[in-house]
Amino acid sequence: KQEVTQIPAALSVPEGENLVLNCSFTDSAIYNLQWFRQDPGKGLTSLLLIQSSQREQTSGRLNASLDKSSGRSTLYIAASQPGDSATYLCAVTRNTGNQFYFGTGTSLTVIP
Amino acid sequence: DARVTQTPRHKVTEMGQEVTMRCQPILGHNTVFWYRQTMMQGLELLAYFRNRAPLDDSGMPKDRFSAEMPDATLATLKIQPSEPRDSAVYFCASGLVKGTNYGYTFGSGTRLTVV
């Protein structure tokens, strides 16, 4: 069974800092990896999707990388803002069946 | 923007009552998931469908949970009888899988409280 781990569980940074969130998975046979954001009491918003053949994806201040062989992905947030405060989740899709597994999330607080 | 619509947003019910949650996937999406989120367990997959056929429901307690897709525009998750431990937020997600997986879109969830 695929296990997805996110470290750290919580992170607090001052506004303007660049930061990195980590996601690791035990089975490298993934189809793709997706990063989501979840605000308190809300649903999940997709941020970036990386197919297994890709190394990274960028959207605005966000950059996600994928290293399948080491079972790792990182989400880089540049020039953090208070509005970035949320829980960030990564999810990997299995090579077959397209079922996807979530990590436990990183709760990010950006202090003004 | 295309959205996954879930109803109701909130539901409070007494233990033993039947609960039905509904999901309208994005038009054209052929894959629908049901997830449950709790503080203790995080996001757990309950069931998912491809082209309305159930592919995996191993995450569901079969004795009380059932999931169906009566048509391509509606997915339902039913709990009968409900128990306090079923209290959680239930999310539906849909996506298009056709040779390539283009990622999934989540609904806003149904917050269920069983008292």
Residue B38 token pair: 């709790």
Residue A98 has pLDDT above 80, yes or no: no
User: Which percentage of chain A shows pLDDT scores above 70?
Assistant: 96
Q: Are strands A106-111 and A10-14 parallel, antiparallel or unpaired?
A: parallel
Q: Residue length, chain A?
A: 112
**A105 chain-B contacts, CB cut-off 8 A:** 42
Nearest-CA distance B101 → chain A (Å): 8
Closest B-chain CA to A48: B103
Q: How confident is the model at residue A78 (pLDDT cuts 50, 70, 90)?
A: very high
Residue A82 phi, psi (nearest 5): -55, -35
**B63: Cβ contacts below 8 Å, ≥ 6 apart:** none
The beta-carbon contacts of A28-31 under 8 Å, at least 24 apart in sequence, are A28/A68, A28/A69, A28/A71, A29/A94, A29/A95, A30/A2, A30/A68, A30/A92, A30/A93, A30/A94, A30/A95, A31/A93, A31/A94, A31/A95, A31/A98, A31/B101
Residues belonging to chain B with any Cβ–Cβ distance to chain A shorter than 8 Å: 31, 33, 35, 42-43, 45, 48, 50, 55-56, 91, 93, 97, 100-109
Confidence (pLDDT) at A94: 79
Beta bridge partners of A13: A110
Residue B75 has pLDDT above 70, yes or no: yes
Distance, CA of A78 to CA of A13 (rounded, Å): 12
Residue B101 has pLDDT above 80, yes or no: no
Burial class of residue A41, CB neighbours in 10 A (0-12, 13-18, 19+): exposed
Mutate which of A1, A44, A57, A66 to test chain B, going by most B C-beta atoms within 10 A?
Answer: A44
Residue B16 phi, psi (nearest 5): 95, -15
Find tokens 């009888």 and name the residue: B81
CA angle A55, A60, B109 (to 5 degrees): 90
Residue B45 has pLDDT above 80, yes or no: yes
Confidence (pLDDT) at B73: 95
- For A7-47, the pLDDT digits (tens) are 999 999 999 999 999 999 998 888 889 999 999 888 899 99
Distance, CA of A36 to CA of B67 (rounded, Å): 25
Dihedral of alpha carbons B95, B111, B39, A76, sign: positive
Contact (Cβ atoms closer than 8 angstroms) between residue B34 and residue B47: yes
